[in-house]
Structure 1
Amino acid sequence: MIQNTMFNPGSLPLQASTLAKPAATPSDSIQQFGAYLQEAIQSVSAQEKSASLMSDKMITGQVSVDQTMISAQQALLSVQLTTQVRNKVVEAYQEIMRTQM
């Protein structure tokens, strides 16, 4: 089964201090969210690099076509998910800006 690990909530370490109380300021929350997004984008980049490496290995006969195609599809799905999340964030921002006027 193919699993997308990009936005896996279990991949982020939970700290007792985080569970005990919310972030002190909105700035802290923004920084934590920014770090989460940065980690997710780096994960997508790593999947793309892995797919490219698998493609190179397939050409030399080191891996099968099946493995290469699975890796390529995982990278493609991650990019599509990232694009959709970005589109939703932009839509939400535009909606907020419309309601404030």
Structure 2
Amino acid sequence: MIKSVAMQAYKNAMQDAQELSQQVRSTTQRKKPVEGFGETLTDSLSKVNEMQGEKSRMIEEFASGKTQNVHELMISMQKAGVAMQMTSAVRGKIISAYQEIMRMPF
């Protein structure tokens, strides 16, 4: 009795593992091509721009009295601020790397 239950559990586990393996294979085969650095940078900048726009919209709505949700406003402001700080840091690193490359002798 115990042997048959254990054997059935083992078979079920193996079947689940095979199904998961097939899902992983099918997912990795349909992978889209890797984006270039420029495309990734452009996408990131557009997301930061959207966050800034959302922040401005929420500030206007709060100031006009349309919404009273201070928590959402503060969260939006913090997200936009952190995104802008990160963008500024990345910009600084890119400029630094560019300057370093320009100093290299060829």
Tell me the TM-score range normalised by the shorter chain: 0.5 to 0.7
Q: Which runs of 4+ in 1 moved over 2 A?
A: 14-19
Cα separation, 1, equivalents of 2:105 and 2:81: 37
Structure with more relative contact order (C-alpha pairs < 8 Å, separation 6 or more): 1
Query: What letter corresponds to residue 36 of structure 1 in structure 2?
Result: T
What are the within-5 Å matches in structure 2 for residues 11-26 of structure 1?
Answer: 16=31, 18=33
Structure 1: gaps of 5 or more residues? 1-13, 20-28
Q: How many residues align?
A: 77
Superposed CA deviations along residues 36-75 of structure 1, whole A, max 9, x for unmatched, are: 1111000000000000111112121414112111101110
Residue identity (%): 31
Structure 2: gaps of 5 or more residues? 1-27
- Using the size of structure 1 for normalisation, the TM-score is 0.66
Match of 2:23 in 1: none
CA-based RMSD of the aligned residues comes to 2.2
Shift of 1:99: 2.3
Cα separation, 2, equivalents of 1:54 and 1:17: 35
Q: Is residue 55–residue 68 contact of structure 1 (8 Å, CA) maintained in 2? A: yes
Match of 2:41 in 1: 37
Q: Which of the pair has more CA radius of gyration?
A: 2
Match of 1:11 in 2: none
- 2:61 matches 1:57: yes
Q: Is residue 54–residue 63 contact of structure 1 (8 Å, CA) maintained in 2? A: no
- Using the size of structure 2 for normalisation, the TM-score is 0.63
Larger fraction in helix: 2
